[in-house]
Amino acid sequence: MLKAAFPGSFDPPTFGHLNIIERASTLFDELVIVVAVNRQKQYLFSPEERIEILRELVRPWPNVQVLLCESLIVDFVKKLNIRLLLRGVRGVSDFSYEFDLSMMNKGLDSSMETIFMTTDPRYFILRSSAIKELASFGGDVSSMVPPLVEGALKRKYAKA
Torsions phi, psi for 115 (to 5 deg): -120, 145
Residue in 23, 2, 21, 22 with CA at minimum distance from that of residue 10:
21
First to last CA, the chain: 45
CB of residue 120 to ligand ADP, shortest distance in Å: 7
CB of residue 63 to ligand ADP, shortest distance in Å: 19
Torsions phi, psi for 144 (to 5 deg): -110, -30
Q: Report if residue 22 touches ligand ADP, rule: CB under 6 A.
A: no
| Cα-based torsion angle of the residue sequence 45, 36, 127, 32 in order, rounded to the nearest 10 degrees | -110
Q: Report if residue 50 touches ligand ADP, rule: CB under 6 A.
A: no
Residue whose CB is less far from ligand ADP, 11 or 158: 11
Residue in 9, 3, 11, 37 with CA at minimum distance from that of residue 149:
11
From candidates 5, 82, 112, 126, binder to ligand ADP by CB under 6 A: 126
From candidates 3, 23, 78, 90, binder to ligand ADP by CB under 6 A: 90
Q: Report if residue 94 touches ligand ADP, rule: CB under 6 A.
A: yes
Q: Which chain residues interact with ligand ADP by CB under 6 A?
A: 8-10, 14, 16-17, 20, 36, 87-90, 94, 119, 123, 126, 128
